[in-house]
């Protein structure tokens, strides 16, 4: 590899924030509320809290392990502690949860529909690239981790 980074298609926070903004803008002009508020709001709040906690835990675990959090920087080690024991992608799961939490709090259909292509881009344009990079960089150690821990849940 000429550059020591995975070469992701887009930075994950930019992808999620952009799609959420586009969906909320559509909701502003063509509001569609798919759920009842008494269900959507508490669920949205719960998702925001849980996803924020997962994001904090994942980031703290990566920093404690001495590796970079941003996919634009080199991975310095394989992190398998904390939430990385249960999923190889806790930060992406937290982004999905935060996105869904906001969508449910507002009870908006359009961001919900836009989440589908966002998850596809996350899978193929970010995660798969990161996996190829980590396997090339760490070899058997990463393949062993991949065999033990699921990609999502």
Domain boundaries, the chain: 12-148
Q: How far apart are CA 8 and CA 31, in angstroms?
A: 33
Mean pLDDT of the chain: 96
Give the rounded percent of residues in the chain with a pLDDT score beyond 70: 99
Give the CB-side neighbour count of residue 140, counting CA atoms within 13 A: 0
pLDDT of residue 1: 42
Q: Using the predicted structure, report yes or no on whether residue 132 has a pLDDT greater than 80.
A: yes
Average pLDDT over residues 80-97: 98
Q: How far apart are CA 56 and CA 90, in angstroms?
A: 10
Q: Using the predicted structure, report yes or no on whether residue 153 has a pLDDT greater than 70.
A: yes
**Both structure tokens of 61:** 């675990």
pLDDT of residue 109: 97
Q: What is the pTM of this model?
A: 0.94
Contact 86, 152 (CB under 8 A): no
**Both structure tokens of 51:** 């996803």
pLDDT band for position 3 (cuts 50, 70, 90):
confident
Q: Using the predicted structure, report yes or no on whether residue 65 has a pLDDT greater than 50.
A: yes
Q: How far apart are CA 83 and CA 19, in angstroms?
A: 26
């Amino acid at each position: 590899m000429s550059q020591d980074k995975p070469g992701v298609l887009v930075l994950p926070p930019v992808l999620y924030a952009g799609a959420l903004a586009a969906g909320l803008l559509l909701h502003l002009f063509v509001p569609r509320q798919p759920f009842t508020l008494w269900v959507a709001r508490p669920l949205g709040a719960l998702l925001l809290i849980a996803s924020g906690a997962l994001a904090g835990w994942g980031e703290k675990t990566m920093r404690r392990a001495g590796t970079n959090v941003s996919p634009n920087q080199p991975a310095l080690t394989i992190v398998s502690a904390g939430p990385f024991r249960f999923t190889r992608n806790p930060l992406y799961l937290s982004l999905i949860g935060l996105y869904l939490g906001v969508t449910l709090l507002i009870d908006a259909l359009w961001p919900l529909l836009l989440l589908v292509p966002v998850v596809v881009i996350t899978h193929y344009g970010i995660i798969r690239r990161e996996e190829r990079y980590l396997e090339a960089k760490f070899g058997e150690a990463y393949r062993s981790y991949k065999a033990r821990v699921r990609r999502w849940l």
